Structure 1
Amino acid sequence: MSNECARKVYIVDGSRTPQLKSRGKVGPFSPGDLAVAAARPLLLRNNFPLDALDEVILGCMMPGEREANVARVVALRLGIPLSVPAWTVQRNCASGMQSVDSAFKNISNGDAELVLAGGTESMSWAPVLHNHTMVNWLGAMMRSRSLGQKISTIFKLRGKHFKPVIALLHGLTDDTVGLNMGETAEIIADNFGITRKQMDEYAMASHHRLAEAHAAGHLDEIEVLYDGKGNYYDHDDGVRPDSTMESLGKLRPAFDRKYGKVTAGNSAQITDGASWLLLASEDAVKKHDLPVLASITDSQWAGLDPAVMGMGPIHAMTPIMQRHQLSIDDIDYWEINEAFATQVLGCVQAWQQDDYCKDKLDLQQAMGKIPHERLNIDGGGVSCGHPVGASGARIILHLCKVLQRTNSRQGIASLCIGGGQGGAMLIQNESEKLTNAEAA
């Protein structure tokens, strides 16, 4: 499924929170809290009346228990008028990209002029549930009327009733193929002969790149977070600037304990974060005198075997490349979400293989190699984390910032999706044109 642009759609601006690593306890911010914190400064610095928004779209996998339709909750907390509708989307890892794509389509088709779209996730807030045995026991207890019935029910309580259901673990498992996401990454490693050394080298580079980007001020899309105790958070706190091959090599395989190569160190971190983009038509840009950062040229969704869901990016990027007759050299920068180091490496290798490109992608020959120096140049999910509902919006926003910073023409943002899908967007730098036009 694709969507080429009918009306031009601009990305006006964007912002995100720092991405905060889950540390074995509930974090300080709910998904709604994070989304509000990221959106407020974005709306304040762009001078348009909030009732000019046609809709608010927010991707989220696991909203808080008091945040049903979290997009609407967030919109109301932001003071967006009651008349502006808001809706939540869920496409696993691509929920944030889906929200942006929905806004893109609605503006492109003339159904909207100005849309706030993004993603949020607080993975540390993922629920811990009662198992069905306990649920049934609680139901029996509620139905007990007399003292005797209640005592009888209490005596039926056993230790097995207290075994918790960790929702996050179930959410990261694909029951259709009986594999968790880490096991699908191991399959990709085996299919392409990717070694533990290659994975750890990639992970180390991701951490170093993110640390350098923070130090150089290349992440100005981040808005400082403050919690209720006065603590502040101003950077992605899962980054390890001192990461080495030796330290990564000490970590044990996380999914295949005996023969595996995928570890916590070369996988994306469990993280909390939110990201937003403000999208507008050309008419809205002119009417509200809005800045222009980038435009969306095309988008693509693809399906594939859930057992190798990590290959989704190349299945989504390939049709875009074909439709626009692009070669790898035509793309200045690439953002491929780092769910696992081996998953990104597998995508890079697959495009270099004639057999894979012919058999899986219907190409006549290999696409070619994505240069390492143009791929995820400021790190990615391995180093900054992968808050599932937010990552799609984050990589689009950061790609826009990279194109602006380097005065480059275009790039592609893409990610894999649990369940066997891929999503991609072709982004055009518009800030370059604006600068050149003003100079002329």
Structure 2
Amino acid sequence: MSPGIYIIDGARTPFLKARNGPGPFAASDLATAAGTALLVRQTFAPDELDEVILGCASPSPDEVNIGRVVALRLGCGHKVPGWTVMRNCASGMQALDSAMMNIRTGRSGLVLAGGVDALSRAPLLFSDAMVRWLSGWYAAKTVGRKAAALHSFRPADLAPVLGIMKGLTDPVVGQLMGQTAENLAHRFGISRAAMDEYAVRSHRRVAAAQDGGHLGEIVPLIDRDGMLYKDDDGVRRDSSVDKLAKLKPFFDRKYGRVTAGNSSQITDGAAWLILASEEAVQRRGLTPVGRIVDCEWAALDPAQMGLGPVHAATPLLARHGLGLNDLDAWEINEAFAAQVIACLCAWDDADYCRDELGLDAPLGRLDEERLNVDGGAIAIGHPVGASGARIVLHLVQRLRRDNLARGIASICIGGGQGGAMLVETV
């Protein structure tokens, strides 16, 4: 194996729940705030970075190459390249992997990499019918043609298309991400009660982590009105199975089990890590907090996309001779409660392991006391571009906090993919 890539430090913003309108921060604001707080405590200047790589699944039209925008706003100067990557839900993890590859090939030695999204600012779009009408209206040069265009106008064409809904719909299988979670619930017989119980546990674990000071990677935000945002604000401390049971299924309203309460939240947030080569660590006298040992990507049926962590982490385990519970800690991004539970079921299912993974026997049951011990995206939220970086950052923080050695961060990816990273402390 190639030498691991050192993690020097990391930081993220609070994850702020979308509340029926644009949030207080644009995506570049979030990434700049987290990056500034992270870089100001380093022994090197921002313009000493070799490059900045930022994952973003939904950049706004005025921040298209948001990696370059943020690099300039961070004071990296004109000569530090900044670029953007997109692998849907794993965009932040892809940024880390891209940084690793450039470090391993010697093209870079010190890289700022992470992810961001401000999903509350996802656009409202005109329908195709409305766009065609507008095109005809602007093309009409005479009074008669404009009158004809007005006569053909249909008020229903003004109904906006939600950009977030289009983005969360798989264009190949035509299903919303939540519908793919319903597929997994049906495949593995996961009950509504099991999903709701998992969701409640996520909220309780995040609340306990907040109370215990276990989310130290968060740096506070202050908006233009002076309002302070210091914590993930989607956590429901009063969540209970009884309350969640009152919610109606959202994606399959007649037969479904997946609700807004047992799904991840639409959220705004950013997360960064500083990665370095061994040579950069020695030359600059840096003190690493961890190491990314290895990374794996996998693909599967888009309609079963939530099982991506199983397909990515399994070959990673095999390559290093590890079993599920040989890891001290796991972070699996909680896109949906059904999706995480399905991953646990798949590893413990002989037929699935044989037919889908080519294994002779099931890997067994992952000890859930090792999994997402400080909660996950159901309570924290899932700003799509940032989540892959967040789970790697929190994994290394958790390993150091509890004096543990190694863990895996894994994520499912819309479109039918999965990503996994093996991390260890130094």
TM-score, scaled relative to structure 2: 0.98
The SS at the match of 1:349 is helix
2:54 match: 58
Which of residues 126, 139, 145 is equivalent to 1:143? 139
Which of residues 376, 387, 397 is equivalent to 1:380? 376
Which amino acid in 2 is paired with 1:51? D
Which of residues 373, 396, 402 is equivalent to 1:400? 396
1:330 match: 326
1:44 match: 40
The SS at the match of 2:6 is strand
> 1:237: Cα distance to partner?
0.4
The SS at the match of 1:211 is helix
Q: Greater shift after overlay, 139-148 or 397-406?
A: 139-148
Q: Greater shift after overlay, 118-127 or 172-181?
A: 172-181
Contact map agreement 1:124 1:271 (CA 8 A) in 2? yes
2:195 match: 199
Q: How does 1:194-233 map to 2 (within 5 A)?
A: 194-233=190-229
Which amino acid in 2 is paired with 1:211? A
Contact map agreement 1:61 1:95 (CA 8 A) in 2? yes
> 1:389: Cα distance to partner?
0.5
The SS at the match of 2:72 is helix
The SS at the match of 1:174 is coil
- 1:158 has 2:154 as partner: yes
> 1:161: Cα distance to partner?
2.2
Over the matched positions of the two proteins, sequence identity in percent amounts to 55
Which amino acid in 1 is paired with 2:340? V
Contact map agreement 1:7 1:110 (CA 8 A) in 2? no
Aligned residues: 426
- 1:291 has 2:287 as partner: yes
- 1:82 has 2:78 as partner: yes
Distance 1:202 1:101 in 2: 30
Distance 1:397 1:130 in 2: 38
> 1:147: Cα distance to partner?
4.3
Distance 2:128 2:75 in 1: 40
Contact map agreement 1:338 1:382 (CA 8 A) in 2? yes
Distance 1:273 1:50 in 2: 21
The SS at the match of 1:214 is helix
Which amino acid in 1 is paired with 2:117? E
Contact map agreement 1:7 1:109 (CA 8 A) in 2? no
Which amino acid in 2 is paired with 1:418? G
Which amino acid in 1 is paired with 2:106? G
- 1:12 has 2:8 as partner: yes
* 1:350-369 Cα distance to aligned partner (Å, 9 max, x none): 11111111111111111111
2:253 match: 257
Contact map agreement 2:122 2:163 (CA 8 A) in 1? yes
Contact map agreement 1:54 1:112 (CA 8 A) in 2? yes
Contact map agreement 2:4 2:294 (CA 8 A) in 1? no
* RMSD (Å) for aligned C-alpha atoms: 1.1
> 1:182: Cα distance to partner?
0.7
Contact map agreement 1:114 1:284 (CA 8 A) in 2? yes
Which of residues 173, 176, 179 is equivalent to 1:177? 173
The SS at the match of 2:152 is coil
* 1:354-389 Cα distance to aligned partner (Å, 9 max, x none): 111111111111111111111000000100000000
* 1:131-159 Cα distance to aligned partner (Å, 9 max, x none): 11211222222223344443443333221
TM-score, scaled relative to structure 1: 0.95
Distance 2:71 2:21 in 1: 27
Distance 1:409 1:206 in 2: 24
Distance 2:16 2:409 in 1: 22
2:310 match: 314
> 1:227: Cα distance to partner?
0.8
For structure 1, list consecutive stretches of 5 or more residues without a partner in the other structure.
431-440
Distance 1:187 1:50 in 2: 46
Distance 1:40 1:57 in 2: 15
Which amino acid in 1 is paired with 2:272? W
- 1:356 has 2:367 as partner: no
1:341 match: 337
Distance 2:4 2:424 in 1: 11
The SS at the match of 1:413 is strand
Distance 2:215 2:197 in 1: 23
2:272 match: 276
2:241 match: 245
Which amino acid in 2 is paired with 1:47? T
Contact map agreement 1:57 1:103 (CA 8 A) in 2? yes
Contact map agreement 2:11 2:218 (CA 8 A) in 1? yes
The SS at the match of 1:179 is coil
Contact map agreement 1:17 1:275 (CA 8 A) in 2? yes
Q: Greater shift after overlay, 362-371 or 143-152?
A: 143-152
> 1:256: Cα distance to partner?
1.1
The SS at the match of 2:40 is helix
Contact map agreement 2:30 2:116 (CA 8 A) in 1? yes
> 1:257: Cα distance to partner?
1.0
- 1:186 has 2:182 as partner: yes
Distance 2:175 2:165 in 1: 11
Distance 1:51 1:23 in 2: 37
> 1:305: Cα distance to partner?
0.6
Which of residues 355, 362, 365 is equivalent to 1:366? 362
Which amino acid in 1 is paired with 2:380? C
Q: How does 1:116-135 map to 2 (within 5 A)?
A: 116-135=112-131
Distance 1:305 1:403 in 2: 33
